[in-house]
């Protein structure tokens, strides 16, 4: 029976196919779910979505780090991020100097590095320094997106061009180090960005944990026994102001 909003009228609704109803626990929906799980997923039409999911998962894991703000060792985190960013600047300057010596090499080995998405490899490190000095989460997010773009487009194309022109191995190694450095920038930069978004997260979490511990020690009713951390937090919130 379904009641029409704002009235006392109730109408009977018949479900045509119970197997397609969301959050249904009937035998029909359970049997339909079992049939779906037992389907063969090794056919050719499933290969492309599976490959796409693998590459997208790797991209999110390596270059799109998102998570909760850091809770401890903030000074160590800031030091590591500054070191990684400085390493990025040094390697970028060295590689850019190589591309401009002589200037004619810009149009062969340097074309993919400089003119695919023009200037992004030069603007990104500058934006990273400005975002870090300003402490702006929005600028740091833009810097992270630019790093991800360079890692999946500019650097692979430049690597192919360097191998095609048989450039010096040391500069190929510098390009590879730049690519791996993007992963470190994504990891530490994501943590620093989350801290800038919510700088009081660590102190608030520490205070909540202390209050919860005191409440658990002073409570003798046993209502917190056998509860998960989420259930304990829910009971703590329901108990009112500390």
Average pLDDT over residues 8-14: 68
Q: What is the mean pLDDT of the chain?
A: 82
* Every domain of the chain and the residues it spans: 2-31, 48-197
* pLDDT of 184 strictly over 70: yes
Q: What is the DSSP string of the chain?
A: -EEPTTSS-EE----S-GGG-TT--SHHHHHHHHHHHTS---SGGGHHHHHHHHHHHHHHHHH----PPP-S-HHHHHHHHHHHHHHHHHHHHHHHHHHTSSGGGGGTTSHHHHTTTTTHHHHHHHHHHHHHHHT-HHHHHHHHHHHHHIIIIIHHHHHHHHHHTT--HHHHHHHHHHHHHHHHHHHHHHHHHHHHH-TTHHHHHHHHHHHHHHHHHH--S-TTTT--HHHHHHHHHHT---
Q: What percent of the chain has pLDDT over 70?
A: 81
């Amino acid at each position: 029976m379904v009641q029409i909003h704002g009235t006392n009228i109730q109408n009977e609704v018949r479900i045509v196919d119970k197997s397609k109803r969301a959050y249904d626990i009937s035998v029909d929906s359970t049997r339909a779910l079992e049939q779906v799980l037992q389907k063969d997923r090794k056919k050719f039409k499933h290969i492309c979505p599976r490959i796409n999911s693998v590459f997208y998962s790797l991209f999110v894991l390596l270059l799109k780090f998102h998570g909760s703000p850091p809770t401890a060792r903030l000074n160590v985190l800031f030091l590591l991020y500054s070191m990684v960013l400085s390493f990025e600047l040094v390697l970028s300057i060295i590689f850019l100097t190589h591309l401009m010596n002589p200037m004619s090499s810009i149009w062969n080995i340097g074309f993919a590095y400089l003119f695919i998405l023009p200037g992004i490899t030069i603007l990104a490190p500058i934006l990273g320094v400005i975002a870090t000095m300003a402490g702006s989460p929005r600028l740091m997010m833009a810097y992270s997106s630019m790093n991800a773009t360079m890692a999946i487009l500019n650097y692979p194309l430049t690597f192919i061009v360097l191998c095609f022109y048989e450039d010096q191995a040391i500069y190929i190694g510098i390009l590879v180090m730049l690519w791996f450095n993007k992963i470190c920038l994504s990891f530490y930069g994501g943590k620093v960005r989350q801290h800038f978004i919510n700088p009081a997260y660590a102190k608030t979490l520490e205070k909540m944990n202390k209050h919860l511990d005191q409440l658990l020690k002073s409570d003798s009713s046993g209502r917190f026994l056998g509860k998960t951390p989420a259930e304990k937090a829910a009971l703590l919130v329901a108990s009112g102001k500390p």
